[in-house]
Structure 1
Amino acid sequence: IYNVIAMMISGRNHSSAVVMFILLGFSEYPELQVPLFLLFLTIYAVTVVGNLGMIVIIRINPKLHTPMYFFLKHLSFVDFCYSTIVTPKLLENLVVEDRSISIKACISQFSTGTICVITEMVVLAVMAYDRFVAICYPLLYPISMSLKLCAVLVTVAYAWGIISSSIFTYSLLIMTFCETKIINNFVCEYSVILSASCSDKHFSEIIFFIFVNLNTLCTLVIILLSYLFIFVTILKMNSANGRYKAFSTCASHLTAITIFYGTILLLYCIPNSQNSWLFIKVGSVFYIVIIPMLNPLIYSLRNNDVKKTFKKLMHLKIISQ
């Protein structure tokens, strides 16, 4: 996808060949470059091992062949992809002096990253619906959440991520870029890419505003409505043990949703001033680098089947050595 987008940019916008972006990253703290490189490298390694490990564990453990873990497997895949799209460039900029990135590479990074973000939003909403059916209609759950429906829902999540990203990318490709821009961050964002254009930005800004709010609002409504019905159902349960079990099945997902949407809302609701750039960069690190590492930890620490499978894999590895 990355290469296809780059080819589209080359074909659509010849002026982009001379336009460059400078990703400042954390260059204003030269004494922290090496410690930050080691920190982010460690986080990225944990992210890769955690998410790929989660996918392997779910595939090999028959007890985890359920709709919830089917969706979790794809959530781990999306987190792995998103981290891999952004983190290597972040690590590179911490050890090299030339922090420039071409407009083609910048738009490609934004476009592929957008696919992952929007897909994750939809998958999180689908997982909330899955919990709603499991708790509110447990007898109908095996029929309602069939393997075929789960496959369709995941396909819709990926398809909508690609469609939304394609719309954003098209709104950038129709622009003419004519100046080099300094990005006081480590990642290419839509607004910064758009600011380098010398064309009328009104259409692109409207497209971005509509689809960002549409994706956020729709997924949040699905999540909030699902958990509203879930909490009402749990409160109606007579058994305290039943209420605890029902709530515990949602705890990991609620934690992941709170961190994901909380960071997004906090990051994009703060004023865009010079005094807030450090906060924006720290927020971006948490959103792009930390969350993909946390998701597999959140789900694995609260599930005994995942922990048992992981221990078995480690035991087999030790024996084979």
Structure 2
Amino acid sequence: MAKNRITELFNVKYPLIQAGMIWASGWKLASAVSNAGGLGIIGSGSMYPEVLSEHIRKCKKATDKPFAVNVPMLYPEIDKIMEIIIKEGVEIVFTSAGNPKIWTKHLQEHGIKVVHVVSSVKFALKSEEAGVDAVVAEGFEAGGHNGRDETTTFTLIPMVKEKLSIPLIAAGGIATGRGMLAAMVLGADAVQVGSRFVATPEASSHKNFKEMVVKAQEGDTVLTLKELAPVRLLKNKFYEEIQDLYSKGPTKEDLIKLLGRARAKKGMFEGDLDEGELEIGQISGLIHEIKPAAEIVNEMISEFEKAKAQVAEL
């Protein structure tokens, strides 16, 4: 595979990035993806500062390849998280869910490359103005927290590409080499893959959750709770409770009370498939088995090359 702006920016073999997913992306998954030639990411959103520090150190022992840390900017102790990232010598940071202007320059002054995750052309341009090194544009097919506009990846990528001059990474609904090729044909320099890497032995999420992802069919996920922060979930007992509440015309406070605390941890990390929040993307309907992260990377790259050759024959 030829080098491009993203492989050169991150010094990786493949333009394939593993998303920093809450309760799934610890050092084991990040190092496995990086060792396979992609860019692994530790998801700090579910970690206390001292836990993140431990994951960064373990990741460094497990791989001599580049890896990144994802930081949701709504994180309550973000100052401590950024301090640890700088202290531990992390070279790449993906920020999300907030204003990229706040931390980009500070991180770059410490030699850190910064990528911001967006769900619209507007925020892609704001990120470029903030000076980020690259942007992840994520369609609403993606799992977890999402954009309110419900713009699909297939639509979002070419619209962002038309306006943006910095490197562009596509995310949302990508789990195969063919999907990777399609995103890059639309203008992406690389892809970010989340849901597919949940169904791996290395993901830190609970086995019950992984097995439910593998069993998921088309239509089993839904984007909900838009009044709080839009999130794509697998339908389960908790989702039915949300629907029941919506039928009564709830206030925002009613929704917050139902959501409660640690609902995502309960589902994805502790394996409570009834009461937990089970965040996963629409592409889960195409995930049929749990397999090692390296195998997924190799399969995606092989399929990408094969599909590229087939397209050339058209």
Task: Give the TM-score band, short-chain normalised.
Answer: under 0.3
Higher relative contact order (CA 8 A, sep 6+): 1
Point out the structure with the larger strand share: 2
TM-score computed with the length of structure 2 as normaliser:
0.24
Rg: which structure is higher?
1
TM-score computed with the length of structure 1 as normaliser:
0.24
Point out the structure with the larger helix share: 1
